[in-house]
Amino acid sequence: MPRRPFALTLFIASSCLATTTSAVDFKSQVFPILNQKCAECHSVAKDKIKGKFAIDRIDDMKKHVKAGEPTKSTLVYTVTLPDDDEEVMPPKGKNRLTPAEVTLLKSWIQEGANFEAGAAPTAAPATPAPGGVLSWTNTEGKAIQASFEGMQGADVVLKTADGTRHAFPLSKLSPESQAQAKKLAGQ
Ligand code: HEC
């Protein structure tokens, strides 16, 4: 018999399964940082192009970015110089990139410096297939992989890879997972 008290524990313990490694996206993640910290002096859009370098002109960007090699990219070099270095960007150590922003910039270059949008993988919509392993999320956003076993009253019965059956109250699942369960149950 499914035992409800384990339901939440299972979702928490299995949340690591839902972790996906996603690529850094230039448009949504890298550009906004540069736009905030460099655009006042390096932007075609703002008509301010100091040092003949604009963050919104891809050819300029490509000159300062060596795909796959953050340590050889002048873009990384200039933003990581000490505050008092003559070449540091932004100049004079003002409005510097935070360590997290530098890490993101380096990751993006390491991953190939892709300027195209949508380099980050997007989740494919789950195709309900009876007996197949699907992704399920609860209302807190925790996810597990399990196959659908059926409905039991207001509970959804799921079977995890170890063969254990678990019952989850339908109302505790995300709207998408609720819809998925209903579809599989033919409701
Ligand atoms: C307050 C204005 C200002 C800001 C903000 C600024 N820069 Fe600059 N940047 C300059 C100036 C001026 C030069 C030209 C320096 C020179 O030629 O000696 C320059 C030159 C550069 C160059 C060298 C271009 C070349 O080919 O030699 C790069 C790369 C650069 N900046 C990147 C950045 C980045 C990245 C940011 C944001 C993190 C940034 N800058 C923010 C003023 C600024």
pLDDT digits (tens, 9 = 90+) for 144-168: 888 888 888 889 988 888 888 888 8
Place of tokens 């992704």: 135
Taking the C-alpha atoms of 55, 57, 58 and 64 in order, what is their torsion angle to the nearest 10 degrees?
-50
pLDDT in tens, 167-187: 889 999 998 889 888 888 887
Residue nearest to atom 24 of ligand 1 (CA): 51
Q: Which of 53, 58, 62, 108 has the most ligand 1 atoms within 8 A of CB, as the residue to mutate? A: 53
- Rounded CA separation 43/53 (Å): 8
Long-range contact list for 114-117, CB < 8 A, 24+ apart? 114/23, 114/26, 115/26, 115/27, 115/58, 115/61, 116/26, 117/25, 117/26, 117/27, 117/28
Q: What is the pLDDT of residue 53?
A: 97
- Rounded CA separation 27/30 (Å): 6
Residues near 142 by Cβ (< 8 Å), separated by ≥ 6? Answer: 11, 12, 14, 15, 18
89 lines ligand 1 (CB under 6 A): yes
Q: Which of 26, 40, 41, 108 has the most ligand 1 atoms within 8 A of CB, as the residue to mutate? A: 41
pLDDT over threshold 90, residue 67: yes
- Rounded CA separation 46/67 (Å): 27
| Spacing of C-alpha 127 from chain mean position | 22
Residue nearest to atom 14 of ligand 1 (CA): 51
Q: What is the pLDDT of residue 160?
A: 83
